[in-house]
Every structure is written in structure tokens, then in C-alpha cells.
Amino acid sequence: MRFTAVLAIAVALAASTLLAQTTVTGTVPSTIAPPWNKGIQAINQDNYWNAVNCGKQGGQRPLCVFYDADVCKNDDFEMAMFTPYKMVAYEVWRAVRAKQEPPNPSYSEAQRTRITVKLTPKPSAKNPVTGIALKRGGPAIAPVSKSVDAGVGNFIFDFAAFAPTGSLTIDMIGKSRTVSCQIDQSVLALFR
């Protein structure tokens, strides 16, 4: 009798763990212009000028600036990323959109910028953010800095965490469940 009760509890815990995890596949359109296939990097001459050209496209939401909005589409969290590339592209895009002369964003400020991942819970999900875990076959890659306030999380990483050297899993950890986003190496190469 005791063995049966323990087995029933173990099965119930395993079932609740399975229910508490959702997996999605990360995607990025391969047709984003201007083309880029080197992944997120510290700012350099190549990605700086590619980002300037990205911002000069203007428009409502150019994919080269806002590609991250749909990378890990799920019902619980919105994910936004801030990178040196996006800092440069966004500044140029804002000016072009306001019909102003495109600026030359600060190269030195872009050099000081790391990767920030912001997780915001969707209101309908009622699943406040409690953490994030990046995994690449070994132990989780810890953020350099993190803050979670009112269920919204900001997590800062070094460039190696997102290098397109292999597949990456992003676990978006919420209070009631975790959403795992599996991103293939070829998709990571399209990140900017």
C-alpha cells in the first residue's frame, strides 16, 4: 500500500511538471534586409554600417530592427532584445521615421552595450517572470546582471551567450510555468 501511494505521488508530480513546461521553436525570417548572418556581436565596422543601413529603411516596424518580437512566439511572454546593432539601427530608424537627417550613432556607446533580454508577461497568461536560463548542452549560462520587478525581467548577457556556435535553448521561467524556446544555430546567425 505504501509503495502504491508513493508511486501515485511520483506520477502526479511528473504529470504536473510536464504540464508546467511549454516548448516553442525560435524562428526569424531569412529575408530580413539588409542581410546579416554573423549573429549578435560586439559593435565593429561591419555590423555598425549594416545597422545604419537597416535604420535608413524607415517604415513602421522594419524587421531588421524588430526581428526579436516574434522569435519565441508563445502565449505567456513577450521577448525583446537590446543589442549594440539594435541600438544603432533604432536611433537611425527613429530619425528617418521623423523625417530627420539620419544620425551617426555613437560608436563608443555601442561598444559599451551588451545584450539585454527583456521578458514581459502577457496579461492574459497571468504568469509573472521569475527568471531566465540559457542552455547549450551544459550548465545554464547565467546573466551578468538581472532584475525582476513587478513580474517583468531584464537580463544582461555577454556576447558568447548568443554566439551562433550551436543551438540554444532559452527557458523563460514564470511563476506558474516555463516556456522553452529552442533556437537552431542557423537562426542564431540571423540575430543582430
Instruction: Provide φ and ψ at 178, rounded to 5°.
Output: -115, 140
pLDDT digits 0-9 by tens, 64-94: 999 999 999 999 999 999 999 999 999 999 9
Shortest CA distance to 111 belongs to which of 67, 39, 66, 45?
45
Per-residue pLDDT at 4: 52
Q: Which residues, other chains included, contact 136 with Cβ-Cβ below 8 Å and sequence gap of 6+?
A: 166, 167, 168, 169
Shortest CA distance to 91 belongs to which of 55, 62, 64, 120?
55
Per-residue DSSP letter, 125: T
Domain boundaries, the chain: 29-188
pLDDT digits 0-9 by tens, 20-53: 789 999 999 989 999 999 999 999 999 999 999 9
Mean pLDDT value of segment 156-165: 97
Q: What percent of the chain has pLDDT over 90?
A: 84
Whether pLDDT at 179 is above 90: yes
Per-residue pLDDT at 137: 84
Q: Across all residues in the chain, what is the average pLDDT?
A: 91
pLDDT digits 0-9 by tens, 8-24: 444 444 444 444 789 99
pTM of this prediction? Answer: 0.87
Q: Are 140 and 184 in contact (CB under 8 A)?
A: no
